[in-house]
């Protein structure tokens, strides 16, 4: 806090960054890009559920609640990781390491948003969806951020469950149930997460080394990471088409998952054979496109009536 005596003026002193924080700095705590993926997958979860969406008004409000929940968990994650975010180039520009937002305020924002998002979803989507959202936030913050992230190279494998839950929450919000087909969408994102993040960690292992985060390349080496990416890619490419056996997907999804899966495998194979991690950036970028495209196809199928 800048303090001056009556005889001094504040302009004589350097202004602490948090005194000039803009609302956009607080919005950045919510990781809008990650939030957008949660919104999209949750929306797809709602649309692919059997039957027409009972009320689009409630569905949109449920989507907003899920988005707020995703933002809340991001703010709490930034609060918890504020000691290491400043050490990594990828996260050094976040509002807390920059001094724009005090860590305690990020914590407060995260807690308030968590409570409001769960409450809103309970009203708009029912108690099952709200409970699942609460579990998602708790899993991401407590299980992933607090326990797994700094302890084990399997952090993102187990922690990926939090990122995989939004379509299940969406499904629950419109149906009040979570049958096996909802968990098939969960499985798709859950298995997609390791090759996606390990490709990134190959590129950013210096960052993780500096922060002491035991990502797979730092603990087991690049060769093991490339091999694990390959293994998980095979599992992903084999799992994705299986969703077509459920009524929520159709032939267009099946064909897309095979074509996109072949390209995923090709990139993972090229990366596996490279000594200098060439192709890691390409695989990382393609993995985002892959997941987005598959969920988009599910959405299109439902609007066009191709599913089931």
Partner 1 sequence: MADTDTNTTMVADTPDDYGREGLPTGEHHQPTEAEEKARNKRNIAIALSVVGFVVLIYLTTFFRLAENLKGAAG
- The residues that touch partner 1, with contacts defined as CB under 8 A, are 1-6, 9-11, 15, 19-23, 26, 54-55, 57-58, 61, 64, 116, 120, 123-124
CB of 169 to partner 1, least distance (A): 16
CB of 144 to partner 1, least distance (A): 27
CB nearer to partner 1: give 116 or 299. 116
CB nearer to partner 1: give 26 or 269. 26
String of DSSP letters for 213-254: ---HHHHH-HHHHHHHHHHHHHHHHHHGGGGGGSTT-BHHHH
CB of 179 to partner 1, least distance (A): 22
CB of 185 to partner 1, least distance (A): 25
* Residue linked to tokens 């579990």: 135
What is the number of alpha carbons within 13 Å of residue 200 lying toward its C-beta?
14
Query: Which residues have a Cβ under 8 Å from the Cβ of 276 and sit 6 or more positions away?
Result: none
**Rounded to whole angstroms, how far apart are CA atoms 277 and 154?**
20
Q: Is 205 left (phi over 0), alpha (psi -120 to 50) or beta?
A: alpha
CB nearer to partner 1: give 54 or 206. 54
CB of 67 to partner 1, least distance (A): 11
CB nearer to partner 1: give 6 or 180. 6
CB nearer to partner 1: give 105 or 222. 105
**Rounded to whole angstroms, how far apart are CA atoms 37 and 167?**
10
**Best CA proximity match to 73, nearest among 150, 2, 135:** 135
Q: Look at the alpha carbons of 180, 59, 61, 128 in this order and tell me if their dihedral is positive or negative.
A: negative
Residue 18 contacts residue 144 (beta carbons within 8 Å):
no
- As a whole number of Å, the CA-based R_g of the chain is 21
Vertex 108 angle, CA 105 and 112, to 5°: 140
CB of 3 to partner 1, least distance (A): 5
CB of 100 to partner 1, least distance (A): 10
Please count the residues of the chain: 308
CB of 303 to partner 1, least distance (A): 22
CB nearer to partner 1: give 109 or 297. 109
**Rounded to whole angstroms, how far apart are CA atoms 140 and 103?**
18
* Residue linked to tokens 């990020």: 106
Question: Token digits for 149?
Answer: 């992230």
CB nearer to partner 1: give 4 or 274. 4
CB nearer to partner 1: give 177 or 274. 177
């Amino acid at each position: 806090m800048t303090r001056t005596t009556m005889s001094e003026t504040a302009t004589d002193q350097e202004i602490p960054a948090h005194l000039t924080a803009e609302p956009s700095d607080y919005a950045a705590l919510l990781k809008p890009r990650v939030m957008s993926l949660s919104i999209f997958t949750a929306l797809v979860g709602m649309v692919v559920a059997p039957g027409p969406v009972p009320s689009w008004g409630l569905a949109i409000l449920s989507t907003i609640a899920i988005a707020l929940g995703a933002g809340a968990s991001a703010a709490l994650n930034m609060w918890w990781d504020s000691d290491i975010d400043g050490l990594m180039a990828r996260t050094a520009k976040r509002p807390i390491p920059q001094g724009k937002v005090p860590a305690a305020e990020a914590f407060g924002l995260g807690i308030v948003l968590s409570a409001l998002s769960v409450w809103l979803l309970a009203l708009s989507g029912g108690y099952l969806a709200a409970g699942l959202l609460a579990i998602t936030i708790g899993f991401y913050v407590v299980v992933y951020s607090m326990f797994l992230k700094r302890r084990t190279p399997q952090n993102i494998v187990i922690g990926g469950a939090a990122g995989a839950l939004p379509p299940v929450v969406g499904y629950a919000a419109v149906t009040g149930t979570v049958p096996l087909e909802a968990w098939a969408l969960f499985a798709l994102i859950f298995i997609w997460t390791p090759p996606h993040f390990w490709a990134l960690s190959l590129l950013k292992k210096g960052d993780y080394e500096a922060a002491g985060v035991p990502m797979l390349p730092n603990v087991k080496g690049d060769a093991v990471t490339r091999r694990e990416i390959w293994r998980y890619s095979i599992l992903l490419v084999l799992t994705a088409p299986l969703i077509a056996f459920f009524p929520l997907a159709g032939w267009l999804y099946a064909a897309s998952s095979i074509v996109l899966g072949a390209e995923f495998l090709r990139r993972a194979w090229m990366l596996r054979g490279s000594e200098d991690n060439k192709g890691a950036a390409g695989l990382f970028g393609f993995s985002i496109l892959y997941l987005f495209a598959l969920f988009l196809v599910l959405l299109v199928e439902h609007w066009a009536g191709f599913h089931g």
